[in-house]
Amino acid sequence: MSGLDFKEFHWMASMINSIDAGMVVLDNDFNIKIWNGFMEHHSNIDSADAKGQNLFSLFPQLPEKWFRRKIAAVRTIQNQSFITWQQRDYLFKFDNYRPITGTVDFMYQNVTIIPLMSLTGQIEQISLIIYDVTDSATKSIALQAANQRIKELTRSSQAD
């Protein structure tokens, strides 16, 4: 990314801010460095208010021990890591994007954790990318339930 001038920086920043996924950058002490538009809108916390705050004091319901372990592993192996909705429904408790016609109250999330290497080769920052996967999660749960039902029905008809 050589020659990233001011103009490029401007449109890149605007892209990060408006992309339809949450982007968060944390330093080694879990202080928030970047909080994009998606995070602002869904958490109702302004980027200006979020920046510099500790993630765990801003979101006390986050399971701190578990999350610290996850991040430590990412730093050690210097590789990205994933949290899927099948493991945990969500990392941040946000309302469903469709609060009225949606079938669940909250937003199912997939999260990618990316280690960000500094110029000196150290991992000084961690980036989180949060995807809203409510639609596919609810559909796959419904499909599973339907398949289960079919299995039960087949079994009971065979037993007759």
Partner 1 sequence: MTIPILICDDSSFARKQMVRSLPDNWDVSISFAENGEQAIAAIKAGKADILFLDLNMPVLDGYGTLEIISQQDLPTLTIVVSGDIQPEAFKRVKALGALDFIKKPTAKEKVKSVLTNYGILREEDLLTSELLKEFPVEVQCDKLRVSQDSQLNLDPYQEIANVAMGRAGDLLARVFDVTVQLPIPNVNILASSELHMMLKAADQQQGISAVCQGYIGSGISGEALILFYDSSLNGLAKLMHYEGEINDAAEREMLVDLSNILIGAFLKGISDQLDVAFSQSHPELLGLHRSVDDIINSGSRNWQEILAIEINYVIEDHDFQCDLIILITQASLKTLNNKINYLLDEQIA
Distance in Å, CB of 49 to partner 1, minimum: 12
Cα–Cα distance measured from residue 63 to residue 60, given in angstroms and rounded to the nearest whole number: 8
Q: Is 38 in the site for partner 1 (CB under 8 A)?
A: yes
Q: Which stretch binds partner 1 (CB under 8 A): 72-80, 91-99, 110-118, 144-152?
A: 91-99
Which pair of structure tokens corresponds to residue 84? Answer: 């899927």
- Number of other residues whose CB lies within 10 A of the CB of residue 91: 21
Which pair of structure tokens corresponds to residue 127? Answer: 């980036």
Q: Is 105 in the site for partner 1 (CB under 8 A)?
A: yes
Distance in Å, CB of 20 to partner 1, minimum: 7
Return the number of the residue (108 or 132) whose C-beta is nearest partner 1: 132
Interaction residues for partner 1, span 3-22 (CB under 8 A): 18, 20
Distance in Å, CB of 109 to partner 1, minimum: 14
Cα–Cα distance measured from residue 72 to residue 113, given in angstroms and rounded to the nearest whole number: 11
The partner residues of 127 in beta bridges, in order of sequence, read: 25, 114
Q: Is 37 in the site for partner 1 (CB under 8 A)?
A: yes
Cα–Cα distance measured from residue 115 to residue 123, given in angstroms and rounded to the nearest whole number: 6
